[in-house]
């Protein structure tokens, strides 16, 4: 089956909005190979396309430090998804997408305050690997400028860097004679982000003008702020239906889809509101990592029961290992609020409630650690001896929240609907 370019999928979604069959596409953070399998199984079962949205911290070239997800670079990530697809006889469309590509998008680059020229050079190296590995969509995000912390980044700077990076990527793609790819621009950040309809349209018009001057394609998605915001393992934002609808209509006027970020932990009411507000796609990532952590902790609780019953003699130490590695990762700091960002390891270890919270937030950053993998393997072995398919449970557990979103987003049968529409 020939895969539609992602731009054609978005055009199909915009067309479905007109025919009363509106749907919102899911961009899913590939938090683990289990998450990839859960996503592809649901996509196959319910006939809808999916996007895997990999940040540079998650997936990047070995030269730039690789990624915390399975140590994947762009090529090993693409291969891993392909292997899962083959293993389950996948027959739908999946898209490899770069989430937040560009300069200063790895935590270390921002913390080191890399100069602009160096940061741009590194961002371009990463994009070249994306292109060569067959990514379908690249997010161009030059807004993480460490020299503009706490300030609104000037729109002129964002526009200039965005157009320059799209120009660079298109030249690299054409030089390799590769198929067209989609682009995503803008940022969900409330500080300097595209929060108002006026700023949003100004950005689109100026971007359109600059891209046309250079013979470059319009983006497939433009990110807009719909009010969503994730902290810890909660959705702390306030979804703004009117703003979402206005931004969606504005983007659609230029043949572009509105992309929402920070879509984790939304309730059903808000999810269903995405259909009439005509949001074309939503990104969800940390929620699925947290759900996988919770699945391991559930299995650990079962394993502990089996010890009580005398059915397991040598249990794993999965919970404590996950906790220790999660604390040491320090990656939980970005999700904390206020003074909690400055907590010390000693303060966390001494407070059971805080430790459990950190584990919930940051457990998924540790899945590739050797110590964690060893304990997971040991736990699976103990469970298997008692007729419990541990990994199958983990995958099914991750499927639950994905399925909730897909149902509310009216995704069932979307691939067939888009194909049918495209033949008219």
CATH code of 248's domain: 3.20.20.70
Banded pLDDT at 196 (limits 50, 70, 90): confident
Longest dimension (CA), the chain: 73
Count CB-CB contacts under 10 A for residue 229. Answer: 17
Listed residue (79, 60, 55, 81) closest to 71, CA to CA: 60
pLDDT for the residue 150: 66
Residue 193 pLDDT more than 60? no
Contacts of residue 145, defined as CB under 8 A and 6 or more positions apart, other chains included, come to 103, 104, 116, 153, 157
How confident is the model over 8-17, as a mean pLDDT?
Answer: 96
Report the 10 Å Cβ neighbour count for 285: 24
Calpha distance 205→188 (Å, rounded): 19
Token readout for 176 is 């390799």
- The reply to whether 231 and 126 lie within a common domain is yes
pLDDT of 187 > 80? The answer is: no
Judged against a pLDDT cut of 90, whether residue 349 lies above it is answered with no
What residues make up the domain containing 90? 6-284+409-422
pLDDT of residue 262: 94
Answer yes or no: do 244 and 198 share one domain: yes
Q: Examine residue 404 and state whether it is found in any structural domain, yes or no.
A: no
What pLDDT digit, counting tens, does each position of 42-64 carry?
A: 999 999 999 999 999 999 999 99
Assess if residue 218 is contained within a domain: yes
- Based on the fold, state whether residues 351 and 313 are members of the same structural domain: yes
Residue 116 lies in a domain: yes
> Same domain for 189 and 209?
yes
Does 119 score more than 60 pLDDT? yes
Across-strand partners of 42? none
Q: How many domains does the chain have?
A: 2
User: Given pLDDT bands bounded at 50, 70 and 90, which one contains residue 192?
Assistant: very low
Q: How confident is the prediction for the chain on average, in pLDDT?
A: 94
In a domain, 1, yes or no: no
Note if the pTM is more than 0.75.
yes
User: What is the per-residue pLDDT for 191?
Assistant: 44
Check whether residue 252 and residue 380 sit in a common domain: no
Residues 337 and 417 placed together within one structural domain of the fold: no
Same-domain status, 54 and 123: yes
Q: Let me know whether 302 and 320 are in one domain.
A: yes
Mean pLDDT of 348-365: 91
Instruction: For residues 393 and 417, state if they share a domain.
Output: no
Element (H, E) at 269: helix 268-277
What is the CA 378 to chain-centroid distance, rounded? Answer: 30
Q: How far apart are CA 40 and CA 33, in angstroms?
A: 11
The answer to whether residue 181 is domain-embedded is yes
pLDDT at residue number 149: 66
Distant-in-sequence, close-in-space partners of 114: CB < 8 Å, separation ≥ 6: 103, 104, 122, 146
Residue 403 falls within a domain, yes or no?
A: no
At residue 299 the predicted structure's pLDDT band, cuts being 50, 70 and 90, is very high
In a shared domain, residues 15 and 129: yes
Asked if 296 and 34 count as a contact pair (C-beta separation under 8 A), the reply is no
Statement to judge: residues 210 and 186 lie in one domain: yes
């Amino acid at each position: 089956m020939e895969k539609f370019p992602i731009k054609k999928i978005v055009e199909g979604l915009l067309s479905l909005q007109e025919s009363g069959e509106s749907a919102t596409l899911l961009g899913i953070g590939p938090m683990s190979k289990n998450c990839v399998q859960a996503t592809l199984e649901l996509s196959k079962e319910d006939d809808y396309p999916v996007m895997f949205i990999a940040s540079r911290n998650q997936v990047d070239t070995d030269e730039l430090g690789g990624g915390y997800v399975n140590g994947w670079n762009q090529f090993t990530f693409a291969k891993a998804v392909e292997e899962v697809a083959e293993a389950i006889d996948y027959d739908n469309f999946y898209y490899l997408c770069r989430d937040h590509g560009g300069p200063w998008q790895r935590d270390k680059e921002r913390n080191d305050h890399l100069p602009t020229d160096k940061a741009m050079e590194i961002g371009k190296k990463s994009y070249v690997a994306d292109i060569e590995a067959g990514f379908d969509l690249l997010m161009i995000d030059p807004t993480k400028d460490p020299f503009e912390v706490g300030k609104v980044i000037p729109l002129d700077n964002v526009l200039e860097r965005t157009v320059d990076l799209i120009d660079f990527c298109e030249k690299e793609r054409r030089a390799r004679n590769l198929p067209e790819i989609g682009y995503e621009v803008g940022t969900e950040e409330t500080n300097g982000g595209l929060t108002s309809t006026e700023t949003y349209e100004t950005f689109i018009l100026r971007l359109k003008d600059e891209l046309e001057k250079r013979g470059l394609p319009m983006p497939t998605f433009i990110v807009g702020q719909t009010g969503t915001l994730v902290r810890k393992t909660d959705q702390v934002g306030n979804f703004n239906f009117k703003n979402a609808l206005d931004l969606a209509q504005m983007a659609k006027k230029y043949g572009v889809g509105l992309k929402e970020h920070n879509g984790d932990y939304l309730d059903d009411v808000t999810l269903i509101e995405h259909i009439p507000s005509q949001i074309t796609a939503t990104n969800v990532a940390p929620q699925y990592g947290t759900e996988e952590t919770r699945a391991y902790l559930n299995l650990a609780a079962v394993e502990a029961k089996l010890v009580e019953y005398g059915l397991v003699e040598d249990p794993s130490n999965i919970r404590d290992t996950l906790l220790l590695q999660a604390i040491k990762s320090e990656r939980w700091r970005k999700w904390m609020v206020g003074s909690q960002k400055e907590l010390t390891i000693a303060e966390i270890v001494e407070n059971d409630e805080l430790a459990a919270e950190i584990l919930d937030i940051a457990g998924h950053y540790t899945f590739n650690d050797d110590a964690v993998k060893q304990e997971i393997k040991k736990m699976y072995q103990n469970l298997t001896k008692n007729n419990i398919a541990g990994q199958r449970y983990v995958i099914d557990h991750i499927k639950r929240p994905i399925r909730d979103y897909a149902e509310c987003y009216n995704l069932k049968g979307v691939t067939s609907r888009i194909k049918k529409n495209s033949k008219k």
